[in-house]
Amino acid sequence: MARVIFLQRIWYEYGGPEMISSVLKKYGHEVDLLIGKDITSFRDKIKPDDIIAFSTMSGEHHWALQTASQIKKEKDVLTIFGGPHPTYFPEIINHPAVDITCCGEGEYSMRDLADAYDKGIDYTGIPNLSVKLGDKIKKNEVRPLVSDLDALPFPDRQIYYKYRLLKEASLKPFMASRGCPFSCSFCFNEKLREVYSNKGTYVRFRSPGSLISEIKEVESRYRLSSVYFADDLFVFNQKWLEEFISIYKKEVGKPFVCSANVNTLNEEIIRLLKDGGCHTVSFGIETGNEKLRYELLNKRITNTHIIEIGHLLKKYKLKFMTFNMIGLPNETVENALETIKLNIKIGTEYPRCSILTPYPGTKIAERFRDKMKINDIYSAYQQSEISFDVPQPKELINLHYFFQTAVIFPYLFRLIKKLIKLPPNILFKLWWAIVYFFVFVRSETRGLIQTSLFALKTIWFVFKKGD
């Protein structure tokens, strides 16, 4: 029996470690997950010969590499990095603290690694893995995508729910599918499809019955007041959705939050979502300027259709969240104001806005590489930094701080257009944080007290010893 320990510092329940853990345990291995700031949180719980796993996103990989380096100095362990960052940036294996990386879906590759490690046999040829062999690296092809998601065991939530804060969360995440069919220039889905070219169907859904069974099992064991479908695109297959909603209403009947693309929504689907108990549906607008949305972001959605869907959502009293971005190449303040105006026009209840981060490998980063002006594009803390040379960067940063305020309180829009001309400052950033927090609380139905505890816990771990 091999022993795998996942390490992370964010107080959040991620599906990747849960799925891998469920498969590993099914095949007789031991799995644990530890949340902490640094090696002082983990040192006494790591044993010799453990496999130490990091499921990392870009930005968080800095912390993971630092922690792995600390552990390798003290413990004779094998380190493996998986998740989005190693999948898209496999060069991370060149770091001295990384022994193995896993590209793409990791359930069965981790099982094969644990089996081989336990038996003391060669694991260097396992699909999806890149393995460091002295000064050389052996990179293996990816195995075919998991075609039947129902064949996978349910996620092992216990690795997170030993922590009371996560166990008692009233809103819990579920995954109905894998993959997204769209090719937005700022997203990695297109690159991931290339990784899995000729390796199976990219967009896959579980059967409605399997998903319902998981929800009911979680409901029977843990607190569950509302459901969050964490899929890239939950609203995609109308026939599947109709079958799922018909069962969900009868056997679960709890409010839920889900994602869509404007082009996958219509009146029939909106009526179906509302009837099924949907509390909030989210979709991306990105920018209110159609030319930027089409030519820069490769998002084929018209303003006319966005307005039409907004009116239908209001007609059926279904709340919605929109995702928007500021800091696009060549974007002007007037372009960004168009985005605010479009959100006001459709009456967005839960607007969100981020500054575009053009990660290497995305189409937008490749196209505008010469216009990029920051060194560490992977930084997790870029809320106040624009990546491209734009005409009015300070005004755009301020507009980002006041975006939600302008949409929720449109009568302040005229004042905000004056405020953004001032230098960016800590008060603007503090105001953004306050408004963002309360929009988050309202949109995810967690409740003020519970969300506050999550925020304080994460801030404590990140900053208690300095970052």
The separation between CA 152 and the C-alpha centre of its own chain, rounded to angstroms, equals 21
Strands (E) located in 74-118: 78-82, 100-102
- Predicted confidence band at 377 (pLDDT cuts at 50, 70, 90)? low
Helix or strand (DSSP H, E) at 18: helix 15-26
pLDDT of residue 254: 96
> Higher pLDDT residue, 244 or 11?
244
> What does the alpha-carbon distance between residue 179 and residue 203 come to, in Å, rounded to a whole number?
4
pLDDT of residue 374: 63
Domains and CATH numbers, the chain: 3-139 (3.40.50.280), 170-445 (3.20.20.70)
The β-bridge relationship of strands 171-174 and 30-35 is: unpaired
Lookup: tokens for 443: 């949109």
> What does the alpha-carbon distance between residue 117 and residue 3 come to, in Å, rounded to a whole number?
10
> What does the alpha-carbon distance between residue 438 and residue 349 come to, in Å, rounded to a whole number?
12
Q: What percent of the chain is modeled with pLDDT above 70?
A: 93
Tell me the pLDDT of the chain averaged across its residues: 91
**CA-based nearest residue to 446, from 171, 193, 198:** 171
**CA-based nearest residue to 420, from 435, 400, 436, 450:** 400
Position 287 pLDDT exceeds 50: yes
Poorest-pLDDT segment among 62-76, 105-119, 226-240, 451-465: 451-465
Position 286 pLDDT exceeds 50: yes
pLDDT of residue 18: 98
> What does the alpha-carbon distance between residue 148 and residue 10 come to, in Å, rounded to a whole number?
30
The answer to whether 454 touches 432, Cβ cutoff 8 Å, is: no
Q: What percent of the chain is modeled with pLDDT above 90?
A: 81
C-alpha distances (whole Å) from 349 to each of 280, 282, 310, 352, 409 are: 9, 10, 11, 10, 10
Average pLDDT over residues 87-114: 96
pLDDT tens digits for range 50-64: 999 999 998 889 999
**CA-based nearest residue to 81, from 6, 142, 187:** 6
Position 458 pLDDT exceeds 60: no
Q: What is the pTM of this model?
A: 0.91
pLDDT tens digits for range 413-453: 999 999 999 999 999 999 999 998 888 877 766 555 555 55
Helix or strand (DSSP H, E) at 456: helix 448-463
Position 112 pLDDT exceeds 70: yes
Between helix 393-408 and helix 333-346 the angle, nearest 10°, is 10
The answer to whether 168 touches 140, Cβ cutoff 8 Å, is: no
pLDDT of residue 380: 41
Lookup: tokens for 71: 């552990």
In this structure, the dihedral spanned by the alpha carbons of residues 361, 263, 283 and 199, taken in order and rounded to 10 degrees, is -40
Average pLDDT over residues 274-292: 97
The answer to whether 202 touches 183, Cβ cutoff 8 Å, is: no
The answer to whether 101 touches 80, Cβ cutoff 8 Å, is: yes
The answer to whether 29 touches 55, Cβ cutoff 8 Å, is: no
The answer to whether 180 touches 189, Cβ cutoff 8 Å, is: yes
pLDDT of residue 453: 54
- Predicted confidence band at 466 (pLDDT cuts at 50, 70, 90)? very low
Q: Name residue 226's beta-bridge partners.
A: 171
**CA-based nearest residue to 208, from 237, 182, 185, 171:** 237
> What does the alpha-carbon distance between residue 206 and residue 372 come to, in Å, rounded to a whole number?
40
- Predicted confidence band at 378 (pLDDT cuts at 50, 70, 90)? low
> What does the alpha-carbon distance between residue 297 and residue 288 come to, in Å, rounded to a whole number?
12
Helix or strand (DSSP H, E) at 206: none
Question: Alpha helices, DSSP H only, in 322-380?
Answer: 333-346, 363-367
**Exposure string for 213-224, b = 16+ CB within 10 A, e = fewer:** bbbeebbeebeb
The answer to whether 444 touches 417, Cβ cutoff 8 Å, is: no
Lookup: tokens for 211: 């998903």
Lookup: tokens for 372: 């990029």
CB neighbours (10 Å) of residue 106?
24
pLDDT tens digits for range 380-403: 445 567 888 888 999 999 999 999
pLDDT of residue 456: 53
